[in-house]
Chain A
């Protein structure tokens, strides 16, 4: 299957600071690719590049085989690239329902969006009138995911979904992500702590200091390498 999202030799920088030094990533429809690596490796930056939020210095961003380098985030979002950023991507002062209602800009009706969201995450229906900031961390991530799904994404970019959540909740969230991928969405997810992510990933890449040090199947070797990376030599 052709890749829906592909980064080819992407170099990018924040001002003078070079962050990515030739990153290659491919994600096919229905595939989950996990991008792992320590703090400051450039994982978030990679996602920002894929969403068109951060410009590339050199290299290419291909979507559906077409070179989309330089396209605006807005164009990419319209086409179906959805980035769920690090932290809780919700409006804390708005209710769950209002958070979802805001997604009607995508052209879907409020009813459709709520149906998608509440079917996948029934707990959100119970919390519909609660301010999003008072939800538990896991529920907030569910809401963020639901908001993402409301855009009917073809490519889903997830940044540290697990941040600050209990392992059980993370596992459940990732089950949902796997389910989303099964519907043909290309998922690129970023994680520091790999276990849960590797559980659903079809493919994994380890990013260290802006370079993909290793990629392959999320097998034992990669796991061993990761633990060495975090516990051993790095930093």
Chain B
């Protein structure tokens, strides 16, 4: 946020750099279907290869069947990769965001910084960190003393507004 020109100009520049995915090709739904199709095709080809090799004694034909079978595996792998890429990523993204958030929370707690918790509907864990830890010097929580200097006003503030 510097001057008027900068943000607007940067906006225009970034838009120019942006590749607008053709809404038709960018559809994850399509890719997902392609993935499923490929997986099914892989299975079908595998079975076909088995039948082909089963019905002949010619090693040449059996060699072809092996090749078909390998192709089937390849298709299956590509298909499942596509499927996973376009189906699970949405879900995994949130999962990862959640994980990393919880990790950073944990890190902060271990660093002894205060984490404020509202007296919410769920009872605070008894041993971990009592919600009003900062205002009660007799708190049993270990290692929360360091960062609590700024806490009392906030806690009482929040409590007052809440009550």
Residues of A in contact with B (beta carbons under 8 Å apart): 4, 29-30, 55, 63-66, 68, 70-72, 75, 78-80, 93, 95, 97, 101, 105, 126-131, 134, 152, 154-155, 183-186
A65, A154, A155 interface centre (most CB from chain B within 10 Å): A154
Cβ of B11 and Cβ of A155 under 8 Å apart? yes
B120 within 8 A of A: yes
B137 within 8 A of A: no
Partner of A134, one of B101, B117, B118: B118
Q: Tell me, in angstroms, the Cα distance from A194 to B92 when the chains sit together.
A: 43
Q: What 8 A-B pairs have minimum CB-CB distances, sorted nearest first?
A: A129-B116, A184-B4, A64-B12, A154-B11, A29-B8, A130-B158, A70-B23, A71-B20
Cβ of A129 and Cβ of B154 under 8 Å apart? yes
In the assembled complex, the CB of B28 is this many whole angstroms from the nearest CB of chain A, namely 10
Instruction: List B contacts of A105 (CB < 8 A).
Output: 97
Instruction: List A contacts of B22 (CB < 8 A).
Output: 70
Knowing A68-B20, A79-B18 touch, does A131 contact B11 (C-beta < 8 A)?
Answer: no
In the assembled complex, the CB of B8 is this many whole angstroms from the nearest CB of chain A, namely 4
Looking at chain A's contact residues, the main secondary structure is loop
Cβ of A184 and Cβ of B7 under 8 Å apart? yes
Looking at chain B's contact residues, the main secondary structure is helix
Cβ of B4 and Cβ of A30 under 8 Å apart? yes
B127 within 8 A of A: no
Cβ of B116 and Cβ of A4 under 8 Å apart? no
Cβ of B7 and Cβ of A79 under 8 Å apart? no
Q: Tell me, in angstroms, the Cα distance from A29 to B26 when the chains sit together.
A: 30
Knowing A66-B15, A79-B18, A95-B116 touch, does A154 contact B7 (C-beta < 8 A)?
Answer: yes
Instruction: List A contacts of B4 (CB < 8 A).
Output: 29-30, 183-184
Knowing A70-B23, A75-B20 touch, does A95 contact B118 (C-beta < 8 A)?
Answer: yes
Chain B, Cβ-Cβ closest to A101: B101
